[in-house]
Amino acid sequence: MNADWFTPALAARNWQAIIVAGSAGGVDAMLQLLPGLPVPLGAPVICMLHLPANRDSRLAELFAARMAVPVVEAADKQPVEAGVVYFAGGGYHLSIEQDRTFSLSCEAPVHFARPAIDVLLNSAADAYGDSLVAILLTGANHDGADGMAQVHARGGLTVVQDPAEAQVATMPQCAIDLDTPDLVLPLAAIRQLLQLLGEKK
């Protein structure tokens, strides 16, 4: 595996959670990334896409049919467990509590979105600190930029899809403009990174 863009120091860190988030074009991007996750999976992978509030999410079902690891929709009070891929449902903000359980809330939309990426990232940065990996993909607004900056400030690893290849460049570009991420990568390299980070220690 060619991993010149990924340093041994990062590989040796004990990553305890991985978040993958995006908006417009995100389903296609995640379909390129997630089916390559290793089995068994050594960390939880929490996925969020902007969803219409009035429509049930079928993302967990869509991805479960294509993956060998368990894929579920995140539920209120549910523990965040290694080896599972979680998807945020529609109509609720998803956050992670200090005891590393999920919390759903009906608070006002953030950046016109509920679930909002910033809500998830900010809470995850508090819960996981420097053991968190946050990956931001294609999207059409600036949701996620503040959250990525918070993850970076807490010592987590921040990864942004290269805007030049994103279906919609606005979201990754806003994150880059606000706070330079650790890595800016094309999807093929992010897929390799996920395989390395997800390997069971």
Q: Which of 118, 143, 146, 162 is catalytic?
A: 143
Annotation marks residue 95 as catalytic:
no
pLDDT over 90 (residue 117): yes
Q: What sign does the dihedral 84-88-89-92 (CA atoms) show?
A: positive
Structure tokens, 113: 């979105």
Whole-number CA gyration radius for the chain? 15
At residue 174, what are phi and psi to the nearest 5 degrees?
-60, -40
50 is a catalytic site residue: yes
118 is catalytic: no
Question: What pLDDT score does 36 carry?
Answer: 86
- The residue written with tokens 């809500």 in the block is 119
What pTM was estimated for this model as a whole?
Answer: 0.94
Asked whether residue 51 carries a pLDDT value surpassing 80, the answer given is no
Of residues 55 and 68, more confidently modeled: 68
Residue 170, pLDDT above cutoff 70: yes
